[in-house]
Amino acid sequence: MSLFYRQPRKILPSRVFRNPRPSFGGLHLFSTDSMRDRMKGLQAILPSAVEFSQNQYELERHGRGESFHPTKKPDAVVCPTCAEDIVSIVKYCSEHGIPIVPFGVGTSVEGHVCCLKGGVSLDMKNFQGIEIPDMESDGLPDPIATVGAGVTRSTLNGALRHTGLQFVVDPGADATIGGMVATGASGTTAVRYGTMRENILALECVLADGTIVNTGTKALKNSAGYDLVGLLCGSEGTLGVITKVTVKLHAVPENLMAAVCVFETVEDAAKAVATLKLCEIPLLRCELLDEASVVAFNAYKKEGPNREEKPTLFFEFQAPSPDSLEEQVKMTQSICDDYGGAGFVYCSDEEERKALWLARHSLYYASINLRPGATGAILTDACVPLSKFAEVIRDTTNEIKEQGIVAPCFGHAGDGNFHCILPTAEGDSAEYTSKLHEVSENIVERTLRAGGTCTGEHGIGYGKTKYLEQQYGPGAVHMMKMLKQSIDPNNVMNPGKVIPIQDGII
């Protein structure tokens, strides 16, 4: 307060002042201390068990995910050991205007963990608690597990390996459960089991003001109060730090069958999928590879016959009995037939299933292999109603051909969600790079025109904040801003992500 009165009118835009009252007309005033001093102050109040690192390599690692966004380092990496540690940390940071970016394992693909304004990368690696169902007890346990936010999905499934249950959400990366909630992640099993959103029951998080929030229920339905679990899912660290999550589990399938079917056009494949879904044939997985993807695979594989270079659907089925499994597959085959599907092959043996799905599993590396020298790729993410799926993919692949860039497309066909893999190499010309970005932006425009969403599973990060108003209109964005400003008035929780806040500055 005294600082404010001592310096009346001269408020220079590059300096910020401390204001103990939050939300002063949208302008947030903080201490004139440099970030270095504020970090020293933070380090001083940390409990002894909490690691604090300013090692350059650690800072770099915590400043990037797996996207094309440039590395933006934090000023320090802090590793809390419990929710109470986080309470002290967020309270201090909120008061001193230090941004906080929660960090799982850094596999996000939209720049989620980039510390746009420096600050603290809050590494959740110590949150490793796992509670799984006790299968030995006489009663039948609920198929749920409660895990610390830092537990990766493969660690959880490893702990579950003797229970007959599994955690089914399977995005490409071995992400942490906390991160998967924060980004609303999803995988190839979404067509049957839904995304992360449909697989969480409860969670614990810490808000910017230090409040510990426990919300949700282990019961399967809930009508009590606002859906805070839903609010936090996909909030990308902008509302609170998720510390613990209760997830749903599903039975490890006893009977599995994989199938593949080739189509003349993407439209035919998409119509087949739309019909399968309308008829509610249960699909465990339903993935589409476009022609370019199959070409990539044929070039990349080391052995085995070439696949026909046409749009291909990859299916997986599961059922309680071999007979019901056979039935599902036969019905699927007949529907694929109706749309000119050919070469329908299916098998149940594990080795054969793996071989059948090889083109889909090795897609990322096969795509990168298409461009010698490529080390990474831009991954686009668009999701449209199924009725528009074929048209959007077709228009996209046409543009890719016109632009002459390398970009195989594949999709979670059952969800109307598709991705293009745009391999990037260090030596790429500015022209080529700008083409990649142009195609990527056009995909979003096309998707929004088709009534879809600019991101089906990867999240907004900071590259897609500009699309929110276009997608939802001003009302929804206004409501999101209201929520953000009331929950995090000092805008320290992963600033710059999700919500395009114009006035909040640090």
Contacts to other proteins by CB under 8 A: 135-136, 155, 158-159, 161-166, 251-254
Looking at the Cβ atoms of 251 and 345, the one nearer to other proteins is 251
Beta bridge partners of 204: 214, 244
SS3 per residue for 270-339 = HHHHHHHHHCCCCCCEEEEECHHHHHHHHHHCCCCCCCCCCCEEEEEEEECCHHHHHHHHHHHHHHHHHC
Residue with tokens 């001269």: 10
Looking at the Cβ atoms of 321 and 334, the one nearer to other proteins is 321
Question: In Å, how far are 44, 261, 328, 333, 347 from 355, measured between CA atoms?
Answer: 56, 14, 21, 20, 10
Looking at the Cβ atoms of 318 and 396, the one nearer to other proteins is 318
Alpha carbons 159 and 147: distance in angstroms, whole number: 11
CB of 53 to other proteins, least distance (A): 11
Count each helix (H run) and each strand (E run) in the chain, helices first. 18, 19
CB of 130 to other proteins, least distance (A): 8
Looking at the Cβ atoms of 94 and 152, the one nearer to other proteins is 152
Looking at the Cβ atoms of 136 and 431, the one nearer to other proteins is 136
Beta bridge partners of 165: 251
CB of 43 to other proteins, least distance (A): 18
Alpha carbons 29 and 13: distance in angstroms, whole number: 11
What number of residues does the chain have? Answer: 506
Alpha carbons 95 and 117: distance in angstroms, whole number: 16
Nearest C-alpha neighbor of 104 from the set 85, 126, 82: 126
Position 391: which residue type? E
Looking at the Cβ atoms of 16 and 159, the one nearer to other proteins is 159
Looking at the Cβ atoms of 163 and 367, the one nearer to other proteins is 163
Would you tell me how many other CB atoms lie within 10 Å of the CB of residue 27?
A: 13
Looking at the Cβ atoms of 34 and 137, the one nearer to other proteins is 137
The helix or strand, by DSSP H or E, that contains position 76, with its residue range, turns out to be strand 76-79
